[in-house]
């Protein structure tokens, strides 16, 4: 924040930290569990982060003893939105991204869940972002489950 301030970039509302939203993340996460949208995954980072996750843990029974992450079950639906700079953006999550992590083995909520809740809780209706984020489609998928 000091760097932003030094660059003359100032915020027009109270600064909100993600730690202030933890109870909302947890409630949303529990809703995803209750809706059977997520599952436990024991894959290591080496074989789960580099490639599209094939969902091989979907049917596994994972005990509480082993460390596990939580993944969202993606499907063949096409998710789309209109971007003022790039036009209509469409993605099919299961083939382009695979089942993505929503809660890490370290029990930290992943960006994909946090950004959805942060935007909702702050009333964000318009997002300006760089091109690398425009393809971050998994979080748009989560919107469909609340
Ligand atoms: Zn797995």
pLDDT tens, residue by residue, 118-133: 988 988 887 777 666 6
Residue 14 lies in a domain: no
Ligand 1 center from residue 87 Cα (angstroms): 34
CATH number at 106 reads 3.40.50.620
Residue 66 lies in a domain: yes
pLDDT tens, residue by residue, 36-84: 999 999 987 665 455 677 788 899 888 888 899 999 998 888 888 888 8
Ligand 1 center from residue 138 Cα (angstroms): 17
Could you list the residue range(s) of the whole structural domain that residue 55 is in?
A: 22-143
Residue 13 lies in a domain: no
Determine the pLDDT at residue 12.
Answer: 83
pLDDT tens, residue by residue, 10-47: 888 888 999 999 999 999 999 999 999 999 999 876 65
Ligand 1 center from residue 65 Cα (angstroms): 15
Ligand 1 center from residue 41 Cα (angstroms): 4
Determine the pLDDT at residue 39.
Answer: 95
Ligand 1 center from residue 124 Cα (angstroms): 33
Determine the pLDDT at residue 119.
Answer: 86
Query: Which has the higher per-residue pLDDT, 65 or 135?
Result: 65
Ligand 1 center from residue 45 Cα (angstroms): 10
Determine the pLDDT at residue 136.
Answer: 63
Determine the pLDDT at residue 69.
Answer: 94
Between the alpha carbon of residue 31 and those of residues 42, 54, 93, 111, 116, the distances in Å are 21, 24, 21, 17, 14
Residue 32 lies in a domain: yes
pTM: 0.80
Ligand 1 center from residue 58 Cα (angstroms): 7
Ligand 1 center from residue 70 Cα (angstroms): 9
Determine the pLDDT at residue 19.
Answer: 93
**3-state class (DSSP) for residue 23:** helix
Ligand 1 center from residue 43 Cα (angstroms): 4
d(CA 49, CA 68): 14
On whether the CB atoms of residues 65 and 29 are closer than 8 A, the answer is no
Residue 5 lies in a domain: no
Which among 51, 60, 34 has a CA at the least distance from the CA of 100? 51
Residue 61 lies in a domain: yes
């Amino acid at each position: 924040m000091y760097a932003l301030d030094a660059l003359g970039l100032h915020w027009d509302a109270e600064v909100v930290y993600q730690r202030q939203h933890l109870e909302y993340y947890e409630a949303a996460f529990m809703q995803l569990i209750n809706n059977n949208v997520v599952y436990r995954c024991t894959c290591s980072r080496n074989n789960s982060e580099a490639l599209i996750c094939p969902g091989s843990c979907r049917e596994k029974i994972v005990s509480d003893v082993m460390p596990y992450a939580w993944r969202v079950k993606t499907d063949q639906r096409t998710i789309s939105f209109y971007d003022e700079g790039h036009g209509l953006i469409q993605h099919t999550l299961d083939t382009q991204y695979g089942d993505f992590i929503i809660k890490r083995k370290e029990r930290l909520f992943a960006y994909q869940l946090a950004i959805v809740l942060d935007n909702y809780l702050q009333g964000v209706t318009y997002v300006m972002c760089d091109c690398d984020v425009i393809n971050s489609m998994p979080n748009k998928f989560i919107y469909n489950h609340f």
